[in-house]
Amino acid sequence: MYSYYKTVMDTFWSPSIWLPPNTTWADIAPDSSKEIQHADYRHLWFPLPMALVVLLIRYLFEKYWFAPVGVSIGIKSTRPKKAPSNEVLEKAYAQSKKWKHKHVQGLAKQLDMSERQVERWLRLRKSQNKPSTLTKFCENAWRCTYYTFSFCYGITVLWDKPWLWDINECWNGFPHQSVSNDIWWYYMYSMAFYWSLCVSQFFDVKRKDFWQMFIHHIATILLMSLSWIVNVFRVGTLVLVVHDLADIFLEGAKMTKYAGYQKVCDVIFAIFTVIWIVTRLGFFPFWIIRNTSIDAPKLVPMFPAYYIFNSLLCVLLVLHIFWTYLILKIAYKSLNAGQMEGDIRSSSDDDDISEESNNSNSLSNQNHTKNE
């Protein structure tokens, strides 16, 4: 059994797949050189305990900072009224949350209730699962705080790095590139944040795209881990910093929406739309993907893993184009209505909002694809 497992692992981690020609894992081992500090794959365990610290920080921030601020500006923390206990209706609700008129008629006759009473029970039952506005405000405030910190830290640590100013430096000496302490922290806390999302997602506001986002977080962590192992962390840092900026304004727009500052929300969403287009459809394809697709093959010998990573970046670009369509669609509807309608992202499985607002779920997916 062990020999079979070893054969599978040796085949999967073959240097001919993951590393440039004539390069072995021993060549990029942490202790392979005194001059170059290669990325250490064993450090990928560090984000796990760090994720617990992130969750603790989030709890403290939400309880002692975001919640008091939310209450002080008038955000309500009360939950919707609960539906009266009814075993028959509860059983029907467990089978399906959407009842057709014939179903409502049947339940009304069975329970000797009016159709209006059954429909009212259904509305109450749906609304009782919704989190309070304050809870949603705190969640978005935490994300906005994280993305602000992450972007500022990323710009700070990359400011003196040559590959920020000349992207070809991402491939200078590859894969023999040293990992400085600030880059180490940038990668580690970013992965820790996404590990924390994998846990907190089960307790946060329930989203319609719950499992899609969970799978996305895992895929994000996997991609970051592989880029760390293969020493493609320079490109990884650029992808991270390019994607963080727009997320700040997305979460900020949600916060102001929940706080009732509609005009401020509209302004922030407009800024978000512009920054999104500039970073996701500007810098990302014409700076990063252009380099990885056109310039990199001229600078380093190609290997199978390169095509895997670059293909994923291109897939991400396709997603950006689709999400941009949804953003512009929301912006167009908002201009016609005179304000941002509904929520920028539907808050739960039971939200009864417009189709356009439901579609805006996709906007949040971009928050975690940045790590590829």
Write the pLDDT tens digit of every residue in 88-130: 888 888 888 788 888 888 888 888 888 888 888 888 877 777 7
Q: Phi, psi (5° rounding) for residue 192?
A: -60, -40
Q: Does residue 137 sit within a domain?
A: yes
Q: Does residue 5 sit within a domain?
A: no
Q: 70-73 — which CB contacts under 8 Å span 24+ positions?
A: 70/134, 70/137, 70/138, 70/141, 70/258, 70/259, 71/134, 73/259
Question: Does pLDDT of 352 surpass 80?
Answer: no
Which amino acid does the sequence have at 225?
Answer: S
Same domain, 192 and 103: no
Domain boundary among 95, 127, 159: 127
The owner of tokens 């339940």 is: 107
Same domain, 244 and 202: yes
What's the pLDDT at 100?
83
Write the pLDDT tens digit of every residue in 237-275: 999 999 999 999 999 999 999 999 999 999 999 999 999
Q: Does residue 161 sit within a domain?
A: yes
Helix runs in 98-232, H state only:
101-111, 115-127, 133-158, 162-165, 181-200, 210-229
Q: Does residue 16 sit within a domain?
A: no
What's the pLDDT at 124?
83
Distance CA 364, CA 262 (A): 20
Work out how many domains the chain is built from and give that number: 2
Tokens at residue 55, please? 């969750």
Same domain, 138 and 286: yes
Distance CA 152, CA 244 (A): 9
Q: Are 313 and 238 in contact (CB under 8 A)?
A: no
Same domain, 101 and 165: no
Tokens at residue 302, please? 């190609």
How many other CB atoms are there within 10 angstroms of residue 85's CB atom? 7
Q: Does residue 80 sit within a domain?
A: no
Distance CA 110, CA 274 (A): 55
Q: 206-212 — which CB contacts under 8 Å span 24+ positions?
A: 206/129, 206/348, 206/349, 207/345, 207/346, 207/347, 207/348, 207/349, 207/361, 207/364, 208/346, 208/348, 208/349, 208/351, 208/358, 208/361, 209/361, 209/362, 209/364, 209/365, 212/365
CATH number of the domain within which 103 lies: 1.10.10
Domain boundary among 95, 111, 127: 127
Same domain, 183 and 34: yes
Same domain, 206 and 354: yes
Helix (H) or strand (E) holding 308: helix 304-337
Same domain, 66 and 179: yes
Domain residues for the domain of 108 are 87-127
Q: State mean pLDDT over 273-283.
A: 95
Q: Are 344 and 256 in contact (CB under 8 A)?
A: no
Same domain, 317 and 257: yes
What's the pLDDT at 172?
93
Same domain, 311 and 347: yes
Same domain, 111 and 224: no
The owner of tokens 């946060």 is: 204
**pTM of the predicted model, to two decimals?**
0.82
Question: Does pLDDT of 45 surpass 80?
Answer: yes
Q: Does residue 20 sit within a domain?
A: no
What's the pLDDT at 122?
84
- Report which of 177, 250, 245 is spatially closest to residue 28, judged by C-alpha positions: 177
Same domain, 166 and 184: yes
- Report which of 176, 239, 184 is spatially closest to residue 44, judged by C-alpha positions: 184
Q: Does residue 71 sit within a domain?
A: yes
Distance CA 37, CA 39 (A): 7
SS3 state at 161: coil
- Report which of 18, 12, 51 is spatially closest to residue 228, judged by C-alpha positions: 18
Same domain, 107 and 244: no
Distance CA 323, CA 328 (A): 9
Write the pLDDT tens digit of every residue in 160-184: 999 999 999 999 999 999 999 999 9
Q: Does residue 12 sit within a domain?
A: no
Per-residue CA distances from 115 to 43, 119, 332 (Å): 61, 6, 38
Distance CA 95, CA 227 (A): 44
Query: DSSP secondary-structure letter at 288?
Result: I
